[in-house]
Structure 1
Amino acid sequence: MVGGGLTAGCGPSSKPAGSASPATAGQSAQALPSASESTAASPEASPTGSASASPSASASTSATPSRTATATASAAPTRTPSTPARTSAAAAPAAIPGPGYDSSADAQKQIDAALRAAKSDGRMVLLDFGANWCGNCKAADKVFAQSQTAAILGASYHLVKIDIGGDSSANSALLRKYSPSGGTYKMPVLVVVSPSGTVRTDTHATGNPALTPEGINSFLRQWAS
């Protein structure tokens, strides 16, 4: 099959599997009478002196905790969260395109948007070059839709599906850009790109993983970070 000047083959289909105490400070302020003062004082003066001194000591005691509490509150440091801002974005899984390839989509804009998102949340970008008539691509789509695989994709990748089964020269140029070794491309061609835009792996050069949950999940985990 010749698409946009490129030779693309689907290859044999792989069968997908299932699925300090304030009181002390106040009391120390109260002076004790000397021995000579105690001897000279009349018996009636002692209760009066005791009564007048007690409120003063009590007021001193009660005022101290208030000042201490105020000082403690004002001295307490304000804590700021240390969690990176991107963690909240990474917590929500990335959207996963449905099965098949949209021949009318602007693949370059989709890739640019995926790379911007990757720079924000640290995920990888997974480019899936394929065709709607390709049996192997359909097998891979069935695996992508399974819960465990979808969870890995959503947590670690921004998936972009690019149609190379038609006559789009723009999409063919994108394939050559990200998988430049040329020759006959066995679909799907899976390319993992870092947030900076660097190609990390290209299955056209390395060979596709088994198009089963075990094979694809292992591939996705290997290149997720």
Structure 2
Amino acid sequence: MATVAALGAAWAGTQALRSPGSTAASAASSASASASVEAQSRTELAPGTVFVPPADPSSAPATPSASAPAPAPPAEARGSAGASPSPAGSKPGPAAAAPAAKREPAASAPKTTAKAAFAPGYDSAADGQQALDAALRAAAADGKQVLLDFGANWCGNCKAADKVFGQPATNALLNDSYHLVKIDIGSQNSANFSILRKYSSGGGSYKMPVLIVLSPPGTVRTDTHQSGNPALTADGLGSFLRQWS
């Protein structure tokens, strides 16, 4: 009888280990450990780097559909468009006035391209996607490249790069060959993280600044998250800009 009782107690213990409560506790413990590892990875970042979380599939925007057809005109417009001509015997309208004499356009002054003043830092309130879209439209019109500069206002390397970009010779290279878009990734802006993930597939920790050159159609030509940053000096950044212009 003692043996039977012992076997029964062992069986009950096994069932308790397999119970839903035990499984849930184990899963919670595993999730807590995973979160702890991720939190530790964020706190151990090297200076001048930022952790970009992976994309959340549930938050991905819907794929844009084809352009919707133009709306039908109002009933009044359809009625007026299909109205029958005036009945016979009605008085004709006044004769159309003769066209005015064509004037020759005045000679215009030759167009000059203004050099854009370089603005250091990253605007955390700016719409990064809107700025990128505008740069791509301008690039499609003039054939320049688009330079994406992802960084943060607290990043020392970003400040060093800004200092060089603001120098006359480097700024001339930027204006002549690029449309510069500076995007803040230091304030945990999820929309800006999405732009970075779109053009740089490395993921994880990014050493700033991340410089990405796009062709006018929007194709990635180079990504310093993959290739490494050039020296953040006049010679280093100047060579980089000339290489991809």
> What TM bracket, shorter-length normalisation?
0.5 to 0.7
Looking at structure 1, the residues matched to 222 and 178 of structure 2 have their Cα atoms a distance apart, in angstroms, of 14
Looking at structure 2, the residues matched to 132 and 213 of structure 1 have their Cα atoms a distance apart, in angstroms, of 20
Structure 1 pair 173–94 and aligned structure 2 pair: CA distance change class (3 A): farther
Looking at structure 2, the residues matched to 134 and 205 of structure 1 have their Cα atoms a distance apart, in angstroms, of 19
Structure 2 partner of 1:181? 202
Structure 1 partner of 2:54? none
Contact 2:48 2:155 survives alignment (8 Å): yes
Give secondary structure in 2 for the equivalent of 1:181. Answer: coil
Pairing 1:121–2:142 present: yes
Q: Which has the higher contact order (CA 8 A, sep 6+)?
A: 1
Structure 1 partner of 2:53? none
Aligned residue identity for 1:136: N
Shift of 1:180: 1.2
Pairing 1:95–2:133 present: no
Shift of 1:183: 2.4
Alignment deviations for residues 149-182 of structure 1 (CA, whole Å, 9 cap, x no partner): 0000000000000000012100011111111111
Contact 1:190 1:202 survives alignment (8 Å): yes
Aligned residue identity for 1:99: P
The two structures have a TM-score, normalised by structure 2, of 0.55
The two structures have a TM-score, normalised by structure 1, of 0.60
Alignment deviations for residues 32-79 of structure 1 (CA, whole Å, 9 cap, x no partner): xxxxxxxxxxxxxxxxxxxxxxxxxxxxxxxxxxxxxxxxxxxxxxxx
Looking at structure 2, the residues matched to 130 and 104 of structure 1 have their Cα atoms a distance apart, in angstroms, of 14
Contact 2:145 2:216 survives alignment (8 Å): yes
Give secondary structure in 2 for the equivalent of 1:101. Answer: coil
| RMSD between superposed Cα atoms in Å | 2.1
Aligned residue identity for 1:201: T
Give secondary structure in 2 for the equivalent of 1:127. Answer: strand
Pairing 1:144–2:165 present: yes
Structure 1 pair 200–96 and aligned structure 2 pair: CA distance change class (3 A): farther
Structure 1 pair 8–100 and aligned structure 2 pair: CA distance change class (3 A): farther
Contact 1:96 1:154 survives alignment (8 Å): no
Give secondary structure in 2 for the equivalent of 1:154. Answer: helix
Aligned residue identity for 2:183: I
Structure 1 pair 94–169 and aligned structure 2 pair: CA distance change class (3 A): farther
Contact 2:122 2:183 survives alignment (8 Å): yes
* Identical pairs, percent: 65
Structure 1 pair 97–220 and aligned structure 2 pair: CA distance change class (3 A): same
Select the structure of larger CA radius of gyration.
1
Alignment deviations for residues 17-45 of structure 1 (CA, whole Å, 9 cap, x no partner): xxxxxxxxxxxxxxxxxxxxxxxxxxxxx
Pairing 1:10–2:48 present: yes
Alignment deviations for residues 92-118 of structure 1 (CA, whole Å, 9 cap, x no partner): 256354000000000000000000000
Looking at structure 1, the residues matched to 203 and 190 of structure 2 have their Cα atoms a distance apart, in angstroms, of 15
Looking at structure 2, the residues matched to 8 and 160 of structure 1 have their Cα atoms a distance apart, in angstroms, of 25
Structure 1 pair 160–147 and aligned structure 2 pair: CA distance change class (3 A): same
Give secondary structure in 1 for the equivalent of 2:211. Answer: strand
1:193 to 214, 233, 240: 214
Q: How many residues align?
A: 143
Pairing 1:207–2:228 present: yes
Shift of 1:202: 0.2
Looking at structure 1, the residues matched to 115 and 209 of structure 2 have their Cα atoms a distance apart, in angstroms, of 21
